[in-house]
Every structure is written in C-alpha cells, then in structure tokens.
Amino acid sequence: MTIKISSCQFELQKVDHFSTFKDRILHAFNDVPLTSDYVLLPELFTMSLLTTYNNYNQFTEKDNEKLGFFLDDYLEFFNHLSQKRRQIIIAGSTIEPTNKGNYNTTYIFDGNGNVLKHRKTHIFPAESAWNTIEGDELEVFKIGPVTFGIAICYEIEIPEIAHIYSQKGADIIFCPSYTFSEYGFWRVRHCVHARSIENQLYVVHCPTIGEIHGPIQNGFGTTAIIGPADLPWTKNGVIAETTSKSSTVVTAELSLEDLRENRKNGAATTYKDRIRRKDIYTL
C-alpha cells in the first residue's frame, strides 16, 4: 500500500482578522494535491492570530494563551476544509483552554466530520510562561489507511514516546514544531532522524517559521519527510524536504510494504531488536 502525505511549512505573518488567516491557509492548500491522504500543519502556527488585537505590541508571553479565544473558529474551519477536500488534516497545534490551564493541542480532522486530539505531554521549558499544562495520554490513531502518532516538537526529543507509538502499531509519526532558534530546529530535526531509525517508521516534520516584529517569537526550520536511512530509501533518510524560508508544501508517496519489509530484513533491524533485548534494559 502506498499513501501520499503533504507537509505545509507555514510562515508567521500579521493578519487583521480570522478570515485573513483562513485565506492564508487556503492559499497554502492550493499547493496540496487533492490526492494527498494526510496533510500536516505546524505547531502553534495560529500565533499569527494574536496580531488581530489592537494592543498586540504590548503583549507579553503570558498573552499567548489568548489563542484559545479562536479555538471554535479554528475547529469549524478545519472540520469544513477536511470534509470538503476529503482529506485527513493534522492541523498543527493551537492553545486549548480548560479550567485546569492551557493545553498545547493537535487536532485531527478525519474528513468525515470527526475530530480527535493529542495534548502535548512534555512542555518545552519556555512554554511554562503561558500557563501551559501537560497532557497525560500517548495514544495512536487509526484514521485512514495507516496508524500514526503525534509528537509535538519537544516530544520528538523524548525517545520513549516514539517507541511507545511504534509498539502500539504506528507506521508514521507526525511532528509539528515551532522552534525559536536554529539550535532548537536542529535538535528537533536530528531527533526526527533518530526516532525514524530507532523505530523503523516514517516521521513527518513540519515547522512554523518566520518573524513578526513584536512579542511573538521567531520560528526556524524547514519541512521534511524522513524514513530510515536504509534501502530502499535515500542514503541520508530524507525522502522529501524544502530549503525555502517561506510558506511552502512538500509532498511524498510512502510505501507501507517497504517499511514492513525493512523491519524484517533491513540492514539495521532496530524495531525488533529494541524488544528482543529488553530484559537487559531493566538491569
């Protein structure tokens, strides 16, 4: 079985209204083939919505939680877009306000009107200023032709998360990210490669990028679709990527048969070997 995945690198820009933000998303989707099964957007790409406030320039990091005010509009828009295009959209992440605090949440729209979510389980230290709290569930999603997990940015740097997903049947991990420096981008990117090799699965990495003058932190990175560094893929494991510093889309076809064959007969059979010697890890 072959599936097609599109990853939408998204650039921060000022917007005057939610409708302007929607127009930017729709413009990005012009480059997403209707034949793509899954579409990924970045972590907290909704940050642009903070610029709709007249006093935006006086905001502090604490005001990032105001993204929660746009949640209903975000959910309605992506649910409609997913059904219209008949695509599974992993819509990056945004702030989900609750009476306990604010979750950094990825919402998944299945194209049939159903909405699922993953709450970020490991908050990057800089997020603590936003009254952000951590989720407690590491579930995989069987939506469409594959089983997948979500690792929001810093979560991909925690090896146990990807291993749990692989043992629960994930063939793909979607990694939306928003890193505030090139150091942060490369930490995430290197870990994307490591998690792919360790667990013999695909990882799709999609960053928020760009600069808005004011309190919103800059975003760094480029989007890439990564496989194990082994045959039949490329030597460096990069199946598709972009070098663009603006909003752009990359699309790739991924074979599930190749992935499963690689787990059985690849040069490095890490998927099964991590289980085979688990008796010594507890020592």
The CATH number linked to 253 is: 3.60.110.10
Q: In the chain, how many domains are there?
A: 1
Dist CA 128 CA 24 (whole Å) = 29
Q: Using one digit for the tens of pLDDT, what is the confidence trace for 257-276?
A: 999 999 999 999 999 998 88
Contact between 232 and 221 (Cβ < 8 Å): no
Torsion (CA) 202, 31, 120, 138 in degrees, nearest 10: -40
* pLDDT at res. 274: 86
* pLDDT at res. 125: 87
Identify the CA nearest to 12 among candidates 33, 34, 28: 28
Q: State which residues of the chain have pLDDT below 70.
A: none
* pLDDT at res. 128: 79
The strand pair at 88-91 and 38-41 is best described as parallel
* pLDDT at res. 129: 78
Identify the CA nearest to 261 among candidates 161, 145, 192, 171: 171
* pLDDT at res. 48: 96
Dist CA 153 CA 118 (whole Å) = 13
pTM for the full predicted model = 0.96
* pLDDT at res. 62: 87
Contact between 158 and 165 (Cβ < 8 Å): no
Contact between 1 and 259 (Cβ < 8 Å): no
Cis amide prior to 232 (ω within 30 degrees): yes
- DSSP-derived 3-state class of residue 215: coil
Domain with 48, as residue range(s), is: 2-281
The strand pair at 224-226 and 202-209 is best described as antiparallel
